[in-house]
Amino acid sequence: MKLKNTLHLVIGSLIAATSMGALAQGQGAVEVDAFAKRYFTDSSRDLSEGNLFGGTIGYYLTDDVSLGLSYGEYHDIRSENDTGRKNIKGNLASLDATYHFGNLGDALRPFVSAGVAHQNISNVPARTGRDHSTFANLGAGVKYFFTENVFAKAGVDAAYNIDANETEWLAGVGFGVNFGGSSKPAPVVEPAPAVEPVAVAEPEQVIETVRVELDVKFDFDKANVKPESQADIKALADFMNQYPQTTTVVEGHTDARGTDAYNQKLSERRANAVREVLVNQYGVDASRVNAVGYGESRPVADNASDAGRAINRRVEAEVEAQIKQ
């Protein structure tokens, strides 16, 4: 009954999470999953191999580091002692820190983990009452993201029994989602900003309008700003810092592949990614930079070709300042 309640809670969380509009990876995200593991026991307690079923809820402290609390119940384990094949009941609760390799938005993210666990099982021969053991855990595995937030995982854990001075192993798979964080895509810019001086004559003076334009390109279904675009974004930021009266609107766009609703969200994430670089990395005041997304509604090239779609996956911005000569 406990296992059914645990699985119902995890599955319910997965369904509720996938219906939320604020699904996002990264710092502040909550992650839930259900897992099934094969349990390879030590020899001294004379236990057969068995299965562990349960779920995990975790919280991302940073974009790469999460802290997770897991609970699972054992099934199909029996004692292999001469007193007879007794059915073993029990559970395992663990607290683990996990480090994820790669970047937000990657389809594959390998990980390593470490933590502690408490095992509570019954009917172990030659022992009285329930058997309690404390474990130190080390693990490794990989997550595969079907979408930005829905994933499957596989991994192996080594569990060192501190009380018995022995090591046990678990290997398993899982399925889960994460939500509530803020994706931090890396910047992407291709064309360099262009400065276009326009002379405006006035009595006894000349006012020159100086304009800087930004056009940042993105990979398909990505909102990460590419490293090669940093110089172009910095040039726009330097211009705005030089003329503190200026403001700008960062506009995000997508190609036509995908649904309108998905592309709208993707264009907003792209615009916010460039805005974040301007504000957090290059010091432009946040009140001077707005971000909007237009989805696939404003193409500048033909979406029927790969080349045209690549041009449409963009973020644009423009800043003007008037200089008296």
- Please report, to the nearest 10 degrees, the dihedral formed by the alpha carbons of residues 306, 307, 309, 313 taken in order: 130
Query: Cβ-count burial of 280 within 10 angstroms (0-12 exposed, 13-18 middle, 19+ buried)?
Result: exposed
In this prediction the pTM is 0.50
d(CA 225, CA 208): 32
Q: Give the list of residues 6+ apart from residue 211 with CB closer than 8 angstroms, or none.
A: 194, 195, 196, 198, 318, 319, 320
Looking at the structure, give the CATH architecture of the domain made up of residues 198-324: 2-Layer Sandwich (3.30)
d(CA 132, CA 115): 17
pLDDT score of 191: 67
Average pLDDT across each block of 10 residues of the chain; the chain has 325 residues. List them in order: 49 46 70 92 76 92 91 84 67 93 87 93 64 90 89 93 87 89 57 66 66 90 91 91 91 93 94 93 92 93 93 91 74
Is residue 189 within 8 Å of 232, Cβ to Cβ?
A: yes
pLDDT score of 294: 94
pLDDT score of 280: 94
pLDDT score of 185: 52
d(CA 158, CA 140): 9
Domain ranges of the chain: 2-179, 198-324
Measured CA distances, 128 to 89, 91, 131, 221 (Å): 14, 17, 8, 58
pLDDT score of 11: 47
Q: What topology does CATH give the domain 2-179?
A: Porin (2.40.160)
pLDDT score of 19: 43
Amino acid identity of residue 290, one-letter, is N
